[in-house]
C-alpha cells in the first residue's frame, strides 16, 4: 500500500562543523569582550560603510568617527548585536532557529538590507584579528568566516 | 569613479609603509585559498593546494600573493586613473584567466583583515575606512574590463 512507502520526513539540512572549527570558534569567543568588541565592531561598520548610518537615525550624533566611537547608543547596540552572535556561537548546531526571531525582526520590522549583515561580519573579523594577532591563524580565520557566513544566512532566511 | 581625498591617500600610504607587502600579500592569498576553497580552481598550476599546511608552505602562492599586493600598492601612485592603470590586468583577468570579479572583493576583504591583524592598534576605524575605500577603487578598476 502506498502508505507503507511513505518517505521519512526530510531531515533539516544541518551545517557540518569539524571539531577543529568548533574549537576555534569557542576558544576565540572566550576572549571576546561583548561590550568593548561590540562597540568597536558597530563603530567600524558606521565609519567604514557610512551609508549604514541610515539605519540609526535615532542614535543622535554620528557626524564623524569620534562622535560614533563615543556614542552611547552605538555602544549599547553593539553589545546587543555581539551578544546575539554569542548566542549563535553557543548553538552552532542550531544557528538557524537561534537567530530566527532576529531574522523576522530585521526583515519585517527594521527593513535592513541583508547585505549589511556581511559588512558587520567583516568588521567583526577585523576586530578579532586585531585583538588576537598571530593567534588568528588562517585556520581560525576560516572557522570564523564560516560562522559569520552561516549566521548571515540564518539572519537572511526570513526575507523573501 | 571613486575619489580618494589627500587624507585618505595618506592613510593608505601609511598602511603600506607599516606592513611587509610581500609577506602580507603571500599570507592574504594563502588565506583566500583556505577560507574560500573554491578559489583554488584558479591556481591549478601552483602544485599542492590540498591542505591548509600545503597552501601555507606553497612557494608559488607566496610569490603570487606578493606580486598581487605589490601591484595594489603601486596603484596608489595612479589613484586618479585606476581604470587606465589597470586596463591590461583587467583584460587579462577577464579575457584569459576568466576570474569572476567577485573574487577581487573576497581578496580585498582578506587583505583588510590581515592588515588589521598586523597593524593592530594602528588600524583604527578611520584608517580601515580609507584603506577599504582604496581597495574598493582597485577592485572596481579591475572589474572594468568585464562586460
Average pLDDT rounded to a whole number, residues A105-113: 91
Q: Check if the beta carbon of residue B105 is closer than 8 Å to that of residue B139.
A: yes
Main-chain dihedrals φ then ψ at residue A43, nearest 5 degrees: -60, -45
Q: Do B125 and A138 touch (CB under 8 A)?
A: no
Distance CA A44, CA A69 (A): 8
Which residues in chain B have Cβ-Cβ distances shorter than 8 Å to A43?
125
Of B31, B113, B117, the CB nearest to A133: B117
Cell of B1: 569613479
Q: What is the pLDDT of residues B34-46, one digit of tens each?
A: 999 999 999 999 9
Q: What per-residue confidence (pLDDT) applies to A14?
A: 75
Distance CA B103, CA B4 (A): 23
Average pLDDT rounded to a whole number, residues A114-125: 95
Tell me the nearest-neighbour CA distance from A111 into chain B, angstroms.
25
> Between B11 and A139, whose confidence is greater?
B11
**Which pTM was predicted?**
0.89
Confidence of residue A5 (pLDDT cuts 50, 70, 90): low
Distance CA B110, CA A40 (A): 19
Q: What per-residue confidence (pLDDT) applies to A12?
A: 53
Cell of B78: 595612479
First to last CA, chain A: 38
Chain A contact for B114 (CB, 8 A cutoff): yes
Q: What is the pLDDT of residues A58-92, one digit of tens each?
A: 999 999 999 999 999 999 999 999 999 999 999 99
In our burial notation (b when 16+ CB lie closer than 10 A, e otherwise), range A130-139 reads: bbbeeebbbb
* DSSP category for residue A60: -
CA distances from B5 to B2, B82, B129 (A): 10, 15, 12
Distance CA B14, CA B118 (A): 13
Q: Which residue of B has its CA nearest to A64?
A: B126
Per run of 10 residues, the mean pLDDT along chain B (length 147 residues) is 89 97 96 93 94 95 97 95 93 89 95 96 96 96 85
Tell me the nearest-neighbour CA distance from B93 into chain A, angstroms.
25
Q: What per-residue confidence (pLDDT) applies to B1?
A: 63
CA distances from B145 to B91, B104, B132 (A): 5, 13, 21
Tell me the nearest-neighbour CA distance from A11 into chain B, angstroms.
26
Distance CA A100, CA A118 (A): 17
* Mutate: best of A126, A133, A137, A149, partner B, most B CBs <10 A: A126
Residue pairs spanning A and B at CB distance below 8 A: 64
Among candidate residues A81, A19, A2, the one with its CA nearest the CA of residue A46: A81
In our burial notation (b when 16+ CB lie closer than 10 A, e otherwise), range B104-142 reads: bbbbbbbbbbbbbbbbeeebbbbbbbbbbbbbebbbbbb
A 108-147 → B contacts, CB under 8 A: 122-123, 125-127, 129-130, 132-134, 136, 138-139, 141-142, 145
Which residues in chain A have Cβ-Cβ distances shorter than 8 Å to B116?
126-127, 129-130
Distance CA A138, CA A127 (A): 15
Q: What per-residue confidence (pLDDT) applies to B2?
A: 72
> Between A153 and A13, whose confidence is greater?
A153
Q: What is the pLDDT of residues A88-101, one digit of tens each?
A: 999 999 999 999 99
Of A65, A130, A145, the CB nearest to B123: A130
Which residues in chain A have Cβ-Cβ distances shorter than 8 Å to B112?
122, 126
B 70-109 → A contacts, CB under 8 A: 109
Tell me the nearest-neighbour CA distance from B85 into chain A, angstroms.
25
The overall average pLDDT reported for chain A is 91
Confidence of residue A4 (pLDDT cuts 50, 70, 90): very low
Q: What per-residue confidence (pLDDT) applies to A159?
A: 85
Q: What per-residue confidence (pLDDT) applies to A143?
A: 94
Q: What is the pLDDT of residues A14-27, one digit of tens each?
A: 789 999 999 999 99
The overall average pLDDT reported for chain B is 94
Distance CA B66, CA B27 (A): 9
Q: pLDDT over 70 for what percent of chain A?
A: 91
pLDDT at A10 over 80: no
pLDDT at A3 over 60: no
Q: What per-residue confidence (pLDDT) applies to A15?
A: 86
pLDDT at A8 over 80: no
Of A43, A69, A129, the CB nearest to B113: A129
Amino acid at each position: 500500500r502506498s502508505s507503507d512507502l511513505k518517505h521519512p520526513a526530510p531531515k533539516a539540512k544541518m551545517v557540518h562543523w569539524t571539531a577543529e572549527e568548533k574549537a576555534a570558534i569557542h576558544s576565540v569567543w572566550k576572549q571576546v569582550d561583548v561590550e568593548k568588541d561590540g562597540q568597536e565592531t558597530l563603530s567600524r561598520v558606521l565609519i567604514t560603510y557610512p551609508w549604514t548610518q541610515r539605519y540609526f537615525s535615532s542614535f543622535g550624533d554620528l557626524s564623524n568617527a569620534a562622535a560614533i566611537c563615543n556614542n552611547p547608543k552605538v555602544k549599547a547596540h553593539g553589545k546587543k548585536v555581539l551578544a546575539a552572535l554569542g548566542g549563535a556561537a553557543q548553538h552552532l548546531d542550531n544557528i538557524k532557529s537561534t537567530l530566527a526571531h532576529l531574522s523576522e525582526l530585521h526583515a519585517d520590522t527594521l527593513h535592513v538590507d541583508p547585505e549589511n549583515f556581511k559588512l558587520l561580519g567583516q568588521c567583526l573579523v577585523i576586530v578579532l584579528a586585531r585583538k588576537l594577532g598571530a593567534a588568528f591563524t588562517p585556520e581560525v580565520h576560516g572557522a570564523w568566516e564560516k560562522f559569520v557566513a552561516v549566521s548571515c544566512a540564518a539572519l537572511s532566511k526570513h526575507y523573501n | 569613479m571613486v575619489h580618494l581625498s589627500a587624507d585618505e591617500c595618506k592613510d593608505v600610504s601609511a598602511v603600506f609603509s607599516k606592513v611587509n607587502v610581500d609577506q602580507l600579500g603571500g599570507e592574504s592569498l594563502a588565506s583566500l585559498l583556505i577560507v574560500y576553497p573554491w578559489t583554488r580552481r584558479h591556481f591549478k598550476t601552483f602544485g599542492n593546494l590540498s591542505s591548509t599546511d600545503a597552501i601555507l608552505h606553497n612557494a608559488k602562492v607566496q610569490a603570487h600573493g606578493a606580486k598581487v599586493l605589490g601591484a595594489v600598492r603601486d596603484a596608489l601612485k595612479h589613484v586618479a586613473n585606476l581604470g587606465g592603470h589597470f586596463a591590461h590586468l583587467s583584460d587579462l583577468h577577464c579575457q584569459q584567466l576568466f576570474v569572476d570579479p567577485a573574487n577581487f572583493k573576497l581578496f580585498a576583504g582578506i587583505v583588510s583583515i590581515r592588515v588589521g591583524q598586523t597593524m593592530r592598534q594602528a588600524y583604527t576605524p578611520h584608517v580601515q575606512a580609507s584603506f577599504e575605500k582604496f581597495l574598493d577603487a582597485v577592485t572596481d578598476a579591475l572589474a572594468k574590463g568585464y562586460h
